[in-house]
Amino acid sequence: MNLISVTGPYVCRLGIDAVKCGIRADNLNQNEGVVVGLEQKFNEYTGARHAVALNSGTAALHLALLAHGVSGGCGVITSPLCLPAVGCAVTAVGATTVFADINPYTLTIAPLEAERAITQMRSANRPGVLLAVHAFGQVCDMDAMADIAERYGLGLIEVAWEALGAKYHDSHVGRYGTTCYSFQQGLSAGEDGGGMLTTDNDEVAALVRSLANHGCDGSGRICRPGFDYRMTDTTASLALERLIRADTHAEIQMLWAMELTHGLKQWDGLVTPAVLPGSRHAFQRYALRVTPEFQFTPQDVCRELLSQGIESSCCPLLPLHQHPFYQAIAGHDTAHLPNTDRVASELVFLPMHPYLDGENVARIVRTLSLMATHVPEDQYEPES
């Protein structure tokens, strides 16, 4: 019995060839390096005016916050159901993380909860930014996020680390302000680290380029404190190869996700991922909720799947507000996050990648369906 991995192979033959190309400096254009070529392709892909290649998604978010003027005393509103690096970037600029609860079906920040968090921010927190974190490939309700940001005078940053290939209103994510992408292994375009920042704002793009290059201007003169956040050609080669296949992978993963949903939605206690109307879920991960109505716990589900040669994982994402660092910070009111607390304890991530096939998907559905129809021994009544 072949093992069905929870994620697919990261570096394929095309990726290896791309790295060789980058090492040999066989540039995409004879007058431009591989990194510049990747930035141009990102401009074309997202429709953004500027794309700045960086060495990680965390670096992209860190610089996005700085470029939007976020510093000590500012409040940054975000969903707590996100990667820990989101909190690290906010802390790095000295800002305060303000949590808003999620929609339990889309698993992204709930617009009404975002407004609630904004209005309840302490007066000591100056207006900062609203982080729209696209969770597991699901796109936030960006029309609502943009409206809230405008009404409250907040900057808007999309955290699209898991959403390359996702769409909102038939456009790729990244059209509602500054957007951060990650090429970290296991994320949307992940093979060898790296990140990207896109924006239509000329000043934000120029400042990010300077900050990423030790604070230098175009002539190499240091004008401000900066960092070494530049991307290498090798990383750019892998990222470009992934970008070229992003839409194809998203479409394939959508197909397999729909097959899983069709087979599992009938069972009480299994809540399959919702897709926000008017969007395309990239299904970076297939996040199945195993609620108390199901007769097995999420941990039981993972163990049974593995016994059938199917990898899965219970939620590896401890919600941000449950990490010791945030629990130790006085004043973090987390009583208003019931959806996040409940959902995080229910998540099981099923295998999801473009290298699945119909037999794999059928095996996953069959295993979970057998669990759903299982009659415990203490409820079994033998025939007389």
pLDDT tens column, 304-355: 999 999 999 886 678 999 999 888 875 556 668 999 999 999 999 999 999 9
How far is Cα 79 from Cα 131, in angstroms, rounded to an integer?
8
Looking up residue 303, the CATH number of its domain turns out to be 3.90.1150.10
What's the whole-number mean pLDDT along residues 207-225?
92
| Same domain assignment for residues 224 and 280 | no
Domain boundary among 207, 224, 243: 243
Is the residue at 1 inside a domain? no
DSSP 54-110: ES-HHHHHHHHHHHTT--TTEEEEE-SSS-HHHHHHHHHTTPEEEE-PBPTTT-SB-
**Is residue 40 pLDDT above 80, yes or no?**
yes
Question: Residues 105-138: pLDDT tens digits?
Answer: 999 999 999 999 998 776 556 778 999 999 999 9
SS3 330: coil
For residue 381, being part of any structural domain is answered with no
Say if 118 falls within a structural domain. yes
Final residue in a domain of this structure, among 243, 270, 299: 243
Summarize pLDDT for 232-289 with one digit per residue, the tens: 998 999 899 889 999 999 999 999 999 999 999 999 999 999 999 999 999 999 999 9
303 and 161 co-located in one domain: no
Provide the residue range defining the domain that includes 352.
246-374
Tell me how many domains the chain contains: 2
Residue 181 within a domain:
yes
User: Same domain, yes or no, for 309 and 186?
Assistant: no
CATH of the domain at 17: 3.40.640.10
In a domain, 22, yes or no: yes
Is the pLDDT at 32 greater than 80? The verdict is: no
Mean pLDDT along residues 287-299:
96
Helix axes 202-212, 57-67, angle to 10 degrees: 120
One domain for residues 226 and 274: no
- Co-location of 280 and 326 in the same domain: yes
